[in-house]
Amino acid sequence: MNHATLVTGGASGIGFSIAQALLERGDFVIIADVQETNLTEARSNLESHAERVRFERIDVTDEDNVRASFDACESDFATITGLVNSAGIGAEALALETDVKLFRKILEVNLLGSFITAKEAGRRMQAGGRGSIVNIASVSGIRASASRTAYGSSKAGMIMMTQVMALELASHGVRVNAIAPGPIETAMVKEMHSDRTRQQWFSRVPMGRYGLPSEMTGAALFLLDDQSSSYMTGQVLVLDGGFSTTGLLASG
């Protein structure tokens, strides 16, 4: 049977760009998303790859749904040896103004959802003796940013989850790594970032711009490749235009 990479949140944004890049290099891909409209649009945009792509409606917070979807995909499409956890939500709110229900929902989708899919994939990969999991975290999980209490906490949790799972699965031939993007021009970011937020990013990112979803694909493909990154696990690749390493900016 063929081997495939399952990409959650794969019908839009960073997830879609990664899925598209995988297909363009000849891989089999399962695009998983909770939004039917996004899945329909992705299916239309990837008609030329129809033989190597499968579309699944998956709610990453529903463990039974995730398990059943993995079973169905492996039964009649391909063995899952790659996972990209890109499904996520976000919101801007100061800590003292963050509703507990909102905080819980962001943790549920971003952190718990990633754990559920990584656990299911890891269990299968461990049995097969090979696999690579790539978690899409965020620079907000590394550096504190105002109005990111819930979102930043969820992404920091993803980074620690990455490291713990990498430790536990290394001896079974399964690698677990993460990518921490900075500000990326996705639909979620366009909805989430105010004009003031965007100006702050522009002033703090040395490259002076937001990144593009397509600029995340190279790192993802590298981490998923058993040859290119065969000795790499438990690592976080930061793709943020230099934001996280910036001190005083040059004057003049």
Task: Please identify every residue annotated as catalytic.
Answer: 151
Count CA atoms within 13 Å of residue 1 on its CB side: 12
Which position has the token pair 């694909």?
217
The number of beta carbons lying within 10 Å of the beta carbon of residue 238 is: 20
Q: Which of 214, 222, 243, 237 is nearest to 162 (CA)?
A: 237
The number of beta carbons lying within 10 Å of the beta carbon of residue 223 is: 24
- 88 vs 44, 107, 204, CA distance in Å? 23, 9, 24
